[in-house]
Amino acid sequence: MKDFLPISKDDMKKRGWKEVDFTFVIGDAYVDHPSFGPAIISRVLEAAGYKVGIISQPDWKDENSINVFGEPRLGFLISAGNMDSMVNHYSVSKKRRAKDFFTPGGEMGKRPDHATVVYGNLIRRSYKNKPVVIGGIEASLRRMAHYDYWDDCLKRSVLLDSQADILSFGMGERSIVEIADALNSGIPVSEITFIDGTVYKTKSLDHIGREYIVLPSYNDLKSDKLNYAKSFYIQYTNTDPFSGKVLCEPYGDVYVVQNPMSKPLSQEEMDRVYALPYMRNYHPSYESAGGVDAIKEVKFSLISNRGCFGGCSFCALTFHQGRIIQTRSHESIINEAKKIITDPEFKGYIHDVGGPTANFRKTSCEKQLKYGVCPNKQCLFPQPCKNLTVDHTDYLSLLRKLRALPGVKKVFIRSGIRFDYIMADPDDTFFKEMCKYHISGQLKVAPEHVADAVLSKMGKPENSVYRAFCKKYAQINKTLGKPQYLVPYLMSSHPGSTIKEAVALSEYLRDIGCSPEQVQDFYPTPSTISTCMYYTGVDPRTMESVYVAHDPHEKAMQRALIQYKNPKNYDLVHEALTLAHRTDLIGFDKKCLIRPRNKNDVSIKPKKPLTEEEIKYGISFEKYDSIRSAAKNEAKKHSSPKNKKRR
- Collapse the DSSP code of 75 into the 3-class scheme (helix H, G, I; strand E, B; otherwise coil) and give the result: strand
Each residue's pLDDT tens digit, 572-609: 999 999 999 999 999 998 999 999 986 556 554 444 45
Minimal CA–CA distance to 352: which of 470, 431, 444, 423? 444
Mean per-residue pLDDT over the chain, rounded = 92
Query: What is the C-alpha separation between 334 and 337, in angstroms, rounded?
Result: 5
Tell me what pLDDT residue 641 has.
47
Report the CATH architecture of 444-647.
2-Layer Sandwich (3.30)
Our CA angle for 506, 512, 514, nearest 5°, is 65
pTM, to two decimals: 0.91
Q: Which CATH number fits domain 9-198: 3.40.50.740, 3.30.310.50, 3.40.50.2300, 3.30.420.40?
A: 3.40.50.2300
> CA angle 131-133-137, nearest 5°?
170
Q: Tell me which DSSP letter residue 199 carries.
A: E
Q: Tell me which H or E stretch contains 544.
A: strand 544-545
Q: What is the pLDDT of residues 523-557, one digit of tens each?
A: 999 999 999 999 999 999 999 999 999 999 999 99
**Which amino acid is located at 392 in the chain?**
H
The C-alpha atoms of residue 30 and residue 53 are separated, in whole angstroms, by: 11
| Residue 128 phi, psi dihedral angles, 5° rounding | -70, -35
Write out pLDDT tens, residues 220-242: 999 999 999 999 999 999 999 99
Question: Cβ distance 281 to 39 under 8 Å?
Answer: no
Mean pLDDT along residues 6-21: 96
Burial of 248: CB neighbours in 10 Å, binned 0-12, 13-18, 19+: middle
For 213, the 3-state DSSP assignment is strand
Whole-angstrom distance, CA of residue 40 vs CA of residue 55: 15
Q: What are the residue ranges spanned by the domains of the chain?
A: 9-198, 296-440, 444-647
Asked if 152 contacts 535 with a C-beta cutoff of 8 angstroms, the reply is no
Give first-to-last CA distance, the chain, whole Å: 72
Summarize the confidence of residues 98-106 as an average pLDDT.
96
Domains 296-440 and 444-647 share a fold: yes
pLDDT digits (tens, 9 = 90+) for 187-214: 999 999 999 999 999 999 999 999 999 9
462 Cβ neighbours under 8 A, 6+ residues apart: 382, 452, 455
What pLDDT band is residue 640 in, cutting at 50, 70 and 90? very low
CA–CA distance, 83 with 36 (Å, rounded to integer): 10
Rounded Cα distance between 184 and 188, Å, is 10
Torsion, Cα 595 597 599 602, to 10 degrees, reads -90
Q: What is the amino acid identity at position 282?
A: Y
**Which of the 8 DSSP states describes residue 168?**
E
Cα atoms in the Cβ-side hemisphere of radius 13 Å centred on 493: 22
Examine the pLDDT at 612 and tell me if it is beyond 60: no
Q: What is the pLDDT of residues 248-263, one digit of tens each?
A: 999 999 999 999 999 9
| Measured distance CA(430)–CA(29) in Å, rounded | 38
More confident residue, 181 or 372: 181
CATH of region 296-440, choose from 3.90.550.10, 3.90.1150.10, 3.40.50.2300, 3.30.750.210? 3.30.750.210
Q: In 494-506, which positions are buried (b, 16+ CB within 10 angstroms) versus exposed (e)?
A: bbbbbbbbbbbbb
Residue 59, φ and ψ in degrees, nearest 5:
-75, 105
As a whole number of angstroms, the distance between CA 233 and CA 525 comes to 16
Residue type, 368: Q
**Is pLDDT above 90 for 81?**
yes
CA distance 134 to 37: 12
Please state, as a whole number, how many other Cβ atoms lie within 10 Å of the Cβ of residue 520: 18
pLDDT in tens, 444-483: 999 999 999 999 999 999 999 999 999 999 999 999 999 9
Q: Classify strands 326-327 and 305-306 as parallel, antiparallel or unpaired.
A: antiparallel
The residues with which 545 forms a beta bridge, in sequence order, are: 538
The Cα–Cα gap between 99 and 224 comes to 38
Per residue in 331-353, is it b (16+ CB within 10 Å) or e — as a string? ebbbebbeebeeeeebeeebbbb
Inter-CA distances, 33 with 28, 107, 115, 152, Å: 13, 21, 22, 35
